[in-house]
Amino acid sequence: MTEDIVDTEVFAELCEAMGDDFAAELLDTFLSEAPKMLAALKTAVAEDDADGYRRAAHSIKSNAEIFGATALAGLSRQMELTSLADAPPPVADLDTMWSDTETALKALCDE
Amino acid sequence: MNDAPGHVLIVDDNKVNRLLLTRNVEMLGHRVSVAENGRIAMDMLASDRFDILLLDIEIPEMDGFEVLEAIKSMPTLRHLPVIVTSSVEGLDHIVRCIELGAEDYIPKPVNKVLLKARVSASLERKRLQDEQKELLNRFATQEVADQLTESGFAIGGERLVATVLFCDIRDFTAISETMTPEATIDLINTYYTLMFDAVSSQGGIVSLMVSDGLMALFGAPNPLENSAQRAVTAAQDMLAMTAALNEERTAVAETPLRIGFGIATGEVVAGYTCAQHRATYTCIGKTVNLAARLEAYTKVAGCEILFDQTTCASLLDTSSTREISDVRLKGFAESVSAFTFA
């Protein structure tokens, strides 16, 4: 199941390129920043702020790609490309996805 | 390729991206500063010197496009290489960045090898540009160097009113015969350095250096308020500096330098003249001849400075000037009045 959520190769490459300590530190930063990005996205939905919504989805996507969080990157990319006005935002799906991703990334950290 | 460290400004609003990019660039050996939005980036660019800007598109306050536009419209920053780093979807964004003047584009997540290649190439181009500018500054003022960089040595003459100054060292050949070649070149370099200082501090440019002679222009290519007064002040400053130099020379039993100045104000034809591999900015015309002949005449008249009537009329204080009338100069059919300081 973890394989679908996180591509462990990507994180291994990050460790290889940047050093284990730095990669772990960067992942920690993402784990603490991600809830803020999710909150920003929800605020944008609540305020019907199309630009803010797209921007928040964009940030989540861009960070998810760094750690190989493929599924989260895919969903947030889809949200970035879909105008807030065109379709109901899959916020609940994103929450679930984040929760799974967080678990998988924390597991990577402990390895 | 030159891999000396550069100063890189990273602009990204996302903390993870900022940390990762910073680390990547630092690992390449460069110094990094970071800004989290476009406004802060513009402030930092105004107060510090950078070699490269790594710019994200999706940033608050001013987005990447606005930052690019602002930079390209500022003469002091327009040559700063900008590499856009973004994971923005769609090719049209990339095209727009390049159209706005971005040097390059690197997609996120940033590939380390690609980043190294792009940063090195941009730094190299920036260094070449800086060197070219430095070289231009050696024979022109900052203003002229900027104009040259902007116009790309646009050839074309213009008629304008300027003041031309000629200066040379009296009997330099005789003096140099008693000196070693090293000492001769050293002396000329000292003299040129003093002259350049005197001329540029009055807003003039040195347009010609031949042996111990030198031609300077005031009011060309850029207009100067009271170019005549400025040229005369430069000559007086130079005489004062030569006097100081001569004190040192006589103290070690060397022959003191005597220099002569000829100054004339009037219409000249000015422009960049060039052959295929050399270019120079120069002035041509009767005013130029007059200044050169007046300089030669200082030896006959036994004075250090001679200037023409037009120059004299522009001086702020004429109380100490003295007229030498009926001066006959080679190449001039009619006699002229020359002026000097009493």
Helix (H) / strand (E) containing B336: strand B336-341
Domain co-membership, B126 together with B162 = no
At residue B271, the pLDDT reads: 78
Q: What are phi and psi of A105, to 5 degrees?
A: -70, -40
Domain co-membership, B152 together with B295 = yes
Residue bearing the bigger pLDDT, B183 or B2: B183
Closest Cβ opposite residue B14 in set A17, A59, A81: A59
What's the CATH number where A29 sits?
1.20.120.160
CB-count exposure of residue A1 (10 Å: 0-12, 13-18, 19+): exposed
Domain co-membership, B177 together with B288 = yes
Burial B85-117 (b: 16+ CB within 10 A, else e): bbbbeeeebbebbeebbbbbbbebbbeeeebbe
The pLDDT tens digits of the residues spanning B221-272 come to 778 899 999 999 999 999 999 999 999 889 988 888 899 999 999 999 887 7
Instruction: Choose from A63, A82, A101 for mutation: most chain B CBs within 10 A.
Output: A63
The pLDDT tens digits of the residues spanning B75-109 come to 888 889 999 998 877 788 888 998 999 988 998 88
pLDDT band at A1 (very low <50, low <70, confident <90, very high): very low
How far is A63 from chain B, CA to nearest CA, in Å? Answer: 7
Give the dihedral sign, CA B249/B255/B258/B259: negative
Residue B1 has pLDDT above 50, yes or no: no
How far is A47 from chain B, CA to nearest CA, in Å? Answer: 18
At residue B217, the pLDDT reads: 92
Q: Which domain holds residue A73?
A: 2-110
Which residue, of B138, B167, B193, is where some domain finishes?
B138
For the residues A72-78, what does the mean pLDDT come to?
93
pLDDT band at B156 (very low <50, low <70, confident <90, very high): low
Q: Is B14 on the interface with A (CB under 8 A)?
A: yes
Residue B166 has pLDDT above 90, yes or no: yes
How far is A41 from chain B, CA to nearest CA, in Å? Answer: 14
Domain count, chain A: 1
Q: Which chain B residues touch A59 with a CB distance below 8 Å?
A: 13-14, 58
Domain count, chain B: 2
Residue B210 has pLDDT above 70, yes or no: yes
Domain co-membership, B53 together with B191 = no
Q: Is B26 on the interface with A (CB under 8 A)?
A: no
Whole-angstrom Cα distance, residue B52 to residue B10? 9
What's the CATH number where B20 sits?
3.40.50.2300
Whole-angstrom Cα distance, residue B263 to residue B305? 8
The pLDDT tens digits of the residues spanning B43-72 come to 999 999 999 999 999 888 899 999 999 999
At residue B3, the pLDDT reads: 59
Domain co-membership, B36 together with B104 = yes
Q: Are the C-beta atoms of B267 and B161 separated by less than 8 Å?
A: yes
Domain co-membership, B189 together with B65 = no
Domain co-membership, B76 together with B193 = no
Q: Is A65 on the interface with B (CB under 8 A)?
A: yes
Which residue, of B138, B164, B189, is where some domain finishes?
B138
Which residue, of B94, B109, B138, is where some domain finishes?
B138
Minimum CA–CA partner of B58 in chain A = A55
Domain co-membership, B26 together with B159 = no
Instruction: Classify the complex by whether its ipTM is higher than 0.95, answering yes or no.
Output: no
Domain co-membership, B23 together with B48 = yes
At residue B155, the pLDDT reads: 53
Q: Which domain holds residue B150?
A: 142-341
At residue B78, the pLDDT reads: 86
Whole-angstrom Cα distance, residue B95 to residue B116? 22
